[in-house]
Structures are given as structure tokens and as C-alpha cells.
């Protein structure tokens, strides 16, 4: 992880220096879908309020300088907007917002790059119920350059190594019982994504449309559960494997290997609760398994279909095996019912490394530690091949440059090309190309060849990047299934009620310009489970890697 920490420190240094020196910028362009028409109704009055508040939050000089508590202004305006029944009434409240924001002396105008146009198009201004005075003022404000640091902008937290919007209040209170605080949470989250996500163009649905659909859900919340469901549906619209909402996710790493999804069937991989390997789950209690999976699918943000089914498997396993119920399964051409008693969450205690045979070594990178690395890799120096496993949950606490030293023939490592924020123009994005790092050859005593990395739909973020580096720098062979497709540094958004939400902050690309987000890595050798292999207790991907090394 240290390697990634240093990398993103360097990126931020580059970001700040490039903005300060006004060096030539290479803008990132990808067309984004927008909803321009906003005729007045009970939903659009809130949508336009959200957008006006967000534009001023990230562009008005007095707000970006931290001279105003922008949450308080919104909370104060909400009762009047809530009771408004006409365009004129809402316009009046939004004019008050502009008046409170105050006058400013800045005359610097940006040229509104194509990157800004395609990411934060202002067509909603032209086609909304806003009056001409508000429209013209907002256009002028949107054309300003933003000084760094921006009070509410995303920045790097040196204390915890995380990226997050700055100066956002947590509000230690019951949020779901207050309409004002529910909408504040929605507006904060939606605007952070609108101005700082480089992946809006990859969403299945326009982020504008998601706002219009989410407003009634947040208004109609009646309890904590309905509030959590509203937020999970909102996050799911990101189509981002990093789209977490703290306090709402059921995900449990100890359950990820209990089930597989094969040809539309939910299959038991590891025996638990009286089930056997290869049992096909039909119902949990009285609910059909496919109905359960469909319901969960709406609440889970993932980048790829494979990763979505993988996460659903974890949730289904918790529903099936960790509470008392009747489980209907299909086994040996018969449908039977098993009464399940709750089990505690469990995880197999597998070794960090092992000799699979005299000529093949295996290392679980989720468990590898820096202090063990040299002794393990030196001990495997006589092996004809080594398998590195990137499929497991764990800390991945090893020193990355040290491992890279053992694997790289070159002193230069090439990294994915990146897309990062233009700090002067929230919503605009810049290319960061020609990314590379230097391998310190003094950190290792010899070079390993004939290396295989195991990957699947759980391989995400840090491990996904490691797989890409291995494939593109070490001539390593990747065996398994397509990776998760969630890349880049995670940004954490503080939410009212002491919750946090996350998303992928930077865009990563292959040298040919293809996005890695939502695509993942396709392995050199694809391996998929079958009902027969599961019944036999096989690790299909590991077996394929062993066969590959023995034949190459």
C-alpha cells in the first residue's frame, strides 16, 4: 500500500504545481448524458435547488474561500422551498441564496474547456424555470477560476492518507427523521459526484436522471431502513465497485467463498449448515432465490456484472446460513428442505505460502508481509515457476517496490495513464500521462521468471493495479476471471449522521486509451467453475495455473 500512497502524493504535487504555474493542460474529453429540461414541479424545484447550491458551493469565490457555512444556508432555505408551489416562490428563495453568497471582485474567467462542457454542462440553466437574472448570474459564476485550496474541495488528508471533501460537517444526529438533513445528504453526495467523478460517462444512466429519481425516495423516507435503501439505490447508480455507503453494506469477507453463481444458479461451493458442495439453492424461507438476487442487485454498486454476482453471493450466504430458516435446495435430482441454524462467520485459515511441488511455489499476497518476503522468494529461487494469488481479501501489507524488484527485468515500471481533477475548474479533468516509477535493484538479490498471477472478480483497486503492472511490466501470465473494474484512489465523502460514502476518484487507462474502469483485466487464460468441479472440491483457477506452469 505504501507504493500507492507515494504515487498519489506525487500526483497531488503535480496537480498543484501545474495549476499554480498554469502549464499547458491536456484535457480529458468523454461525452456525458445530461437531462436539460427542468419544468417546474415538486421534484424539479428540489433538483434545481440542489444544482444551484452545488454550483455556488464549488465556484462562488466567497463560498470557496470558506466565508460562509453553506450547509446552514441550505438548511435555512429548505422550509420555504418545501412549501413553495410556484416558480416565482422558488426563484425568490434562490435569489436570497445568491444575495447571501455576496458580491465578489474576481474578474478571472475561464475559457470553459470542452472537458468542462462535457462533464458539467449548464444546459439545465437554459431549460429550467429559473428566471433570467439568476441564469445570468450563475453563468458568470460558473466561468470563474477557482483558487486552491477550495474550502469544500477534495484534498489529501496526510493524517490518514485518504482523499475526501474538506470541511464537511458530520452532524451527530438522527438524519433519517428530518427531511432537511436527508436532502442535505443527497445534495452533498450528488454534487461531489457531479463535480469530481471522472466516470460519469460510464454510468448506465445519466447522473442528472438519478437525481430526479432519488429526490422522491429521500422525501418519502419513513424510517432508518428506507433511508438506507434510498442511499444504496443512489450509490448503485454509480456503477462503481468503490461505491460504498458505510453502515448499510451487508458485505462480509468471511462469506465470499461459500457460494458461486453458475449459469443462473446459486451453487454451494463450501459446505456449511448441512449443505453439500454442488447443492443448488432454490429458496430461502419462502422467497425464491432469483427474486432475492434481483432485489439485492438494485442496492449494490459494482463496476462489472461478475463482481456484482460475487457480492450478491456474499449477501445471500449471510441470509442463508447465519440466521435460522428453512433452505430449499436441489441435490441429486431432488428438491429437499434443510433447516438451518445460525452459524458464526468463519474464514479458512490458509497458509501464506507453500510448495505445491518441488518446482512450483505459491504465495498468497493478501497475507504476505515485508519481513517474510525475502526469505520466501529466496527459498523459491530454484522453482521453475511461482504463483502469486490476488483473489483473497486481506491486508496486502507487503512492500510493493520490494516485490517489484524481484519481478522486474527493467529499472522502469510503467503505470496506467490517469485522469485527475482540474483544481481550477471543478468538473473538468486532466490527463496525467507517462506515469512510471524507478525500480530499486538493491532491494532484492535475484530476479524471478515464469510468474503467474491468479485473479478473479474479487480482484479490485490495489490488487487490480498490481495485476495490471504484472501483466504489462513483468511478462507475467494472468489466469482466472475478469477483475472487478474499480480502479484508482478511493474518495470518502463525509455524510450527515456520521456516515461515509466512497467512489473511484481517478480514471485509469491503458496506453491505447481504453478505460480500465468498468472493464477490468481480462486474464491471459480464462477459467470458470462448473458444477462438477465444485462437487469435486477443486480450485479451478489454481489447478489451471499449475498445469500452465508445468507445460510452459
Asked if residue 486 and residue 420 are part of one domain, the reply reads: yes
Asked if residue 392 and residue 289 are part of one domain, the reply reads: no
For residue 499, the model assigns a pLDDT of 93
295, 311, 340 - which closes a domain: 340
C-alpha 399/C-alpha 409 separation (Å) is: 18
Residue 268 CB coordination number (10 Å): 25
Please check whether residue 109 lies inside any domain of the structure.
Answer: yes
Asked if residue 363 and residue 289 are part of one domain, the reply reads: no
C-alpha 302/C-alpha 297 separation (Å) is: 9
User: Residue 443 belongs to a domain with what CATH number?
Assistant: 3.90.226.10
pTM: 0.93
Please check whether residue 190 lies inside any domain of the structure.
Answer: no
Please check whether residue 269 lies inside any domain of the structure.
Answer: yes
For residue 178, the model assigns a pLDDT of 96
For residue 55, the model assigns a pLDDT of 97
For residue 9, the model assigns a pLDDT of 47
**What does DSSP say about strands 280-284 and 325-331: parallel, antiparallel, or unpaired?**
antiparallel
Please check whether residue 471 lies inside any domain of the structure.
Answer: yes
The domain in which residue 298 lies consists of 253-340
Please check whether residue 103 lies inside any domain of the structure.
Answer: yes
C-alpha cell belonging to residue 21: 504555474
Asked if residue 375 and residue 272 are part of one domain, the reply reads: no
Spacing of C-alpha 86 from chain mean position: 39
For residue 14, the model assigns a pLDDT of 46
97, 119, 152 - which closes a domain: 152
Where b means 16+ CB within 10 Å and e means fewer, 495-510 reads bbbebebbbbbbbbbe
For residue 345, the model assigns a pLDDT of 57
Asked if residue 534 and residue 397 are part of one domain, the reply reads: yes
Q: For the chain, percent helix, then strand, then coil, each to nearest 5?
A: 40, 20, 45
Asked if residue 398 and residue 303 are part of one domain, the reply reads: no
For residue 307, the model assigns a pLDDT of 96
Please check whether residue 76 lies inside any domain of the structure.
Answer: yes
Determine phi and psi for 491, rounding to 5 degrees: -105, 130
119, 152, 185 - which closes a domain: 152
Please check whether residue 543 lies inside any domain of the structure.
Answer: yes
Asked if residue 258 and residue 363 are part of one domain, the reply reads: no
Q: Which of 418, 496, 430, 492 is nearest to 163 (CA)?
A: 492
Asked if residue 535 and residue 477 are part of one domain, the reply reads: yes
The alpha helices in 298-342, defined as continuous H runs, are 305-321
**What does DSSP say about strands 325-331 and 287-288: parallel, antiparallel, or unpaired?**
unpaired
Angle, CA 63 vertex, CA 59 and CA 68 arms, to 5°: 165
Sign for the pseudo-dihedral over CA of 515, 518, 521, 527: negative
User: Residue 278 belongs to a domain with what CATH number?
Assistant: 2.30.42.10
Rounded to whole angstroms, what are the CA distances from 121 to 8, 195, 276, 426, 473? 28, 11, 55, 12, 39
Residues with Cβ within 8 Å of residue 151, at least 6 apart in sequence:
63, 64, 65, 66, 166, 167
Residue 445 CB coordination number (10 Å): 12
Asked if residue 494 and residue 362 are part of one domain, the reply reads: yes
For residue 167, the model assigns a pLDDT of 95
Asked if residue 513 and residue 402 are part of one domain, the reply reads: yes
Please check whether residue 53 lies inside any domain of the structure.
Answer: yes
Asked if residue 357 and residue 303 are part of one domain, the reply reads: no
For residue 6, the model assigns a pLDDT of 46
Domains held by the chain: number: 3
For residue 410, the model assigns a pLDDT of 78
Tens of pLDDT along the chain (552 residues)?
444 444 444 455 545 455 544 567 888 888 888 899 999 999 999 999 999 999 999 999 999 999 999 999 999 999 999 999 999 999 999 999 999 999 998 766 665 556 566 678 889 999 999 999 999 999 999 999 999 999 999 998 776 778 899 999 999 889 999 999 999 999 999 999 999 999 999 999 999 999 999 999 999 999 999 999 999 999 999 999 999 998 875 555 568 889 999 999 999 999 988 999 999 999 999 999 999 999 999 999 999 999 999 999 999 999 999 889 999 999 999 999 999 998 765 666 789 999 999 999 999 999 999 999 999 999 999 999 999 999 998 889 999 988 998 998 878 888 999 999 998 999 999 999 888 888 877 767 778 889 999 999 999 999 999 999 999 999 899 999 999 999 988 999 999 998 999 999 999 999 888 999 999 999 999 999 999 999 999 999 999 999 999 998
Judged by DSSP in three states, 3 sits in helix
Asked if residue 105 and residue 48 are part of one domain, the reply reads: yes
For residue 20, the model assigns a pLDDT of 43
Amino acid at each position: 500500500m505504501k507504493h500507492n500512497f507515494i504515487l498519489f502524493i506525487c500526483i497531488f504535487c503535480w496537480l498543484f504545481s501545474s495549476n499554480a504555474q498554469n502549464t499547458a493542460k491536456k484535457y480529458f474529453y468523454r461525452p456525458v448524458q445530461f437531462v436539460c429540461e427542468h419544468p417546474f414541479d415538486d421534484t424539479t424545484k428540489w433538483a434545481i435547488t440542489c444544482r444551484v447550491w452545488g454550483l455556488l458551493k464549488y465556484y462562488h469565490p466567497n463560498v470557496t474561500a470558506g466565508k460562509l457555512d453553506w450547509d446552514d444556508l441550505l438548511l435555512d432555505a429548505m422550509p420555504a422551498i418545501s412549501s413553495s408551489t410556484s416558480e416565482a416562490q422558488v426563484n425568490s428563495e434562490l435569489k436570497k441564496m445568491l444575495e447571501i453568497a455576496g458580491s465578489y471582485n474576481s474578474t478571472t474567467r475561464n475559457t470553459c474547456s470542452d472537458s468542462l462542457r462535457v462533464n458539467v454542462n449548464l444546459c439545465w440553466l437554459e431549460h429550467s424555470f429559473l428566471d433570467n437574472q439568476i441564469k445570468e448570474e450563475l453563468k458568470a459564476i460558473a466561468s470563474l477560476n477557482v483558487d486552491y485550496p477550495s474550502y469544500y474541495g477534495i484534498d489529501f488528508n496526510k493524517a490518514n492518507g485518504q482523499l475526501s471533501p474538506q470541511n464537511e460537517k458530520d452532524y451527530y444526529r438522527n438524519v433519517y427523521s428530518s427531511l432537511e438533513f436527508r436532502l442535505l445528504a443527497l445534495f452533498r453526495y450528488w454534487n461531489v459526484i457531479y463535480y469530481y467523478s471522472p466516470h460519469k460517462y460510464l454510468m448506465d444512466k445519466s447522473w442528472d436522471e438519478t437525481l430526479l429519481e432519488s429526490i422522491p425516495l429521500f422525501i418519502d423516507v419513513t424510517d432508518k431502513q428506507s433511508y438506507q435503501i434510498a442511499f444504496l439505490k443512489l450509490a448503485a447508480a454509480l456503477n462503481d465497485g468503490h461505491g460504498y455507503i458505510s453502515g448499510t453494506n451487508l458485505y462480509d469477507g468471511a462469506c465470499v467463498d461459500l457460494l458461486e453463481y453458475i449459469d443462473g444458479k446459486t451453487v454451494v461451493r463450501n459446505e456449511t449448515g448441512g449443505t453439500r458442495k454442488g447443492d443448488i439453492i432454490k429458496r430461502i424461507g419462502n422467497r425464491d432465490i432469483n427474486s432475492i438476487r434481483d432485489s439485492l442487485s438494485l442496492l449494490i454498486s459494482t463496476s462489472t456484472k461478475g463482481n456484482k454476482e460475487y457480492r450478491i453471493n456474499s449477501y445471500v450466504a449471510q441470509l442463508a446460513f447465519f440466521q435460522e430458516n428453512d433452505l430449499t435446495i436441489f441435490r441429486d435430482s431432488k428438491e429437499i428442505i434443510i433447516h438451518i441454524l445460525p452459524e458464526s462467520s468463519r474464514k479458512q485459515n490458509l497458509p501464506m505460502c507453500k510448495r505445491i511441488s518441488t518446482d512450483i511455489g505459491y504465495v498468497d499476497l493478501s497475507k504476505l508481509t515485508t519481513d517474510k518476503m525475502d526469505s520466501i522468494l529466496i527459498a523459491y529461487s530454484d522453482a521453475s515457476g511461482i504463483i502469486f494469488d490476488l483473489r483473497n481479501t486481506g491486508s496486502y501489507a507487503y512492500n510493493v517496490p520490494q516485490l517489484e524488484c524481484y519481478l522486474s527485468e527493467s529499472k522502469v515500471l510503467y503505470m496506467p495513464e490517469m485522469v485527475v481533477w482540474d483544481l481550477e475548474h471543478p468538473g473538468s479533468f486532466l490527463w496525467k500521462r507517462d506515469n512510471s516509477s524507478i525500480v530499486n535493484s538493491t532491494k532484492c538479490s535475484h530476479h524471478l521468471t515464469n510468474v503467474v498471477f491468479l485473479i478473479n472478480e474479487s480482484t479490485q483497486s490495489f490488487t487490480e493495479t498490481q495485476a495490471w503492472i504484472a501483466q504489462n511490466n513483468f511478462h507475467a501470465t494472468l489466469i482466472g476471471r475478469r477483475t472487478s473494474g474499480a480502479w484508482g484512489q478511493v474518495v470518502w465523502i463525509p455524510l450527515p449522521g456520521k456516515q461515509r460514502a466512497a467512489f473511484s476518484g481517478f480514471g485509469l487507462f491503458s496506453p491505447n486509451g481504453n478505460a480500465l474502469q468498468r472493464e477490468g483485466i481480462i486474464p491471459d487464460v480464462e477459467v470458470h467453475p462448473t458444477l462438477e468441479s465444485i462437487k469435486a472440491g477443486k480450485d479451478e483457477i489454481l489447478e489451471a495455473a499449475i498445469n500452465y506452469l508445468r507445460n510452459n
